[in-house]
Amino acid sequence: MTFKKLIGKLHLWLGFISGLLVLFLGLTGCILAYQREIEDATQGYRYVEPRPQAYLPPTQLRQFADQALPGKHIHSLSYAHGKASQAVYFSFDPEYYYIVYLDPYTGQVLKNKDMSQDFFRFIINGHYYLWLPPNVGQPILASATLIFVFMLISGIVLWWPRNKAARKQRFTIKWNAKWRRVNYDAHNVVGFYVSWVAIFLALTGLVMGFKWFAGSVYWAAPAENSWWSFTNRLPRFRPE
């Protein structure tokens, strides 16, 4: 078996095994990326109609919030124009996390939300741990991401043209061919361009998934020598 055929077999089977998990990560990641927009559209209690009157002082709002959560320790209380005030309660021992949404003008409790039951907390646990114990689910998803990176790299190896004629074929979809050929060409052409974005996303996931990978990245690009650190030291233009 030649090296390219071996890469082809590994690409096929590893892609099949990791594909479902990577699809799952993509779907849950997409939901999390639009968390703010989804919350704005579905959680009307987070907003109040602005009125020509003063907000209640924090001490009074806290009293209303404490009545909704007796015995709990308040961490913060916030105001925002056009939005409900948020009283945040959390503790590590005993463990709890609540947000009480209040009308800042009247102190009315609009929502007493247990964040442990929040939809996005559920999605985050799936995205990071597959709803399994962290020491089980996290290595499974991280390993699937590592396999996905190998699959992308092996796909580029398989795609790479041998000569000029093959190079033209690699960048062209033969639309008038049978559907199998069109599907094959679309996979090759579109997959080549998408693979570079996918590799970047997968590598950032590996930083969160494996300590050894994160350590390698930090060692290879220390903060004091990074491009980000360098650009932050450049003089800023300030309009007069």
**Per-domain residue ranges of the chain:** 3-33+124-217, 44-117
Tokens of 75: 């961490």
**pLDDT at position 6, please?**
80
**pLDDT at position 230, please?**
42
pTM above 0.95? no
CA distance 102 to 209: 38
**Mean pLDDT, the chain cut into blocks of 10 residues (240 residues total):** 74 78 90 93 93 93 94 92 94 92 96 94 93 91 88 78 71 81 82 84 85 80 52 41
CATH number of 44-117: 3.10.450
**pLDDT at position 191, please?**
79
**Long-range contacts formed by 91-100: CB under 8 A, 24+ apart:** 96/72, 98/69, 98/72, 100/65, 100/68, 100/69
